[in-house]
Amino acid sequence: MPRPREFDEDRVVLAVRDEFWDKGYAATSMDDLLRVSGLGKGSLYGAFGDKHRLFLRVLRDYDDANLRGLRERLDAAPRGVDVVREFVLGVAGDPTGAAARRGCLLANSTAELATSTPDVAAEARRSYDAITAILTEALARAQREGDVDPGADPAGIARAVLAAQLGVMALGRTGMDVAELDAVARSALTRLLPTPSR
């Protein structure tokens, strides 16, 4: 009978996630992962497999948490359009600029690995498709609530909103001033959200 694990798996996954997030996949060594997890090599491999499998676990958990958060925001939002606006404007929400410079683990990982690592590309597609579906739902609700032109295509706008948010995040990684980043995000939203004609 296998022995129960003697460590907090969630704590280890979060510690490892932050190391990958701060350094990127290639620059994170097994020694880094052992250090931040506090585990020996045998325990880390036994629980999570090799570095690649551990990274995929971390990325999937990160994506699923973000999707749950986006779904919860839509369910609780007073208006559907609020969720769409927050999705794009949130990138510039930290006045220190630290969050913008850190970026998004999924976006960073996609830029680093998607062309060379099919399972990372597949995870990115899965997550971005799910985000697009929630944004589409938010935009369809915004149409019913009179905040978005009823003749617009919610799915098409949702894909464009996702692309805009990823672009704002990429600019944030360069260290762009937060006020300027916020202005870029607001400008994108003004162009992407067709308001009903009065």
- What's the pLDDT tens digit per position in 147-166? 999 999 999 999 999 999 99
pLDDT of residue 45: 87
At the topology level, CATH places domain 59-192 in Tetracycline Repressor; domain 2 (1.10.357)
Round to whole Å and give the CA distance between 97 and 20.
Answer: 20
pLDDT of residue 2: 46
CATH number assigned to the domain covering 1-49: 1.10.10
How many alpha carbons fall within 13 Å on the CB side of residue 12? 20
Q: With 50 as the cut, is the pLDDT of residue 3 above it? A: no
Mean pLDDT for the chain overall: 93
Q: With 50 as the cut, is the pLDDT of residue 1 above it? A: no
Q: With 60 as the cut, is the pLDDT of residue 5 above it? A: no
Q: With 80 as the cut, is the pLDDT of residue 27 above it? A: yes
pLDDT of residue 198: 56
Domain ranges for the chain, please list them. Answer: 1-49, 59-192
Look at phi and psi of residue 14 and say left if phi exceeds 0, alpha if psi is from -120 to 50, else beta. alpha
Q: Which amino acid is at 74?
A: L
For the segment 21-28, the average pLDDT, to the nearest whole number, is 97
pTM above 0.85, yes or no: yes
Q: With 80 as the cut, is the pLDDT of residue 50 above it? A: yes
- DSSP assignment of 77-108 equals -SSHHHHHHHHHHGGG--TTSHHHHH--HHHH
Please write the tens of the pLDDT for every residue from 98-145. Answer: 999 999 999 999 999 999 999 999 999 999 999 999 999 999 999 999
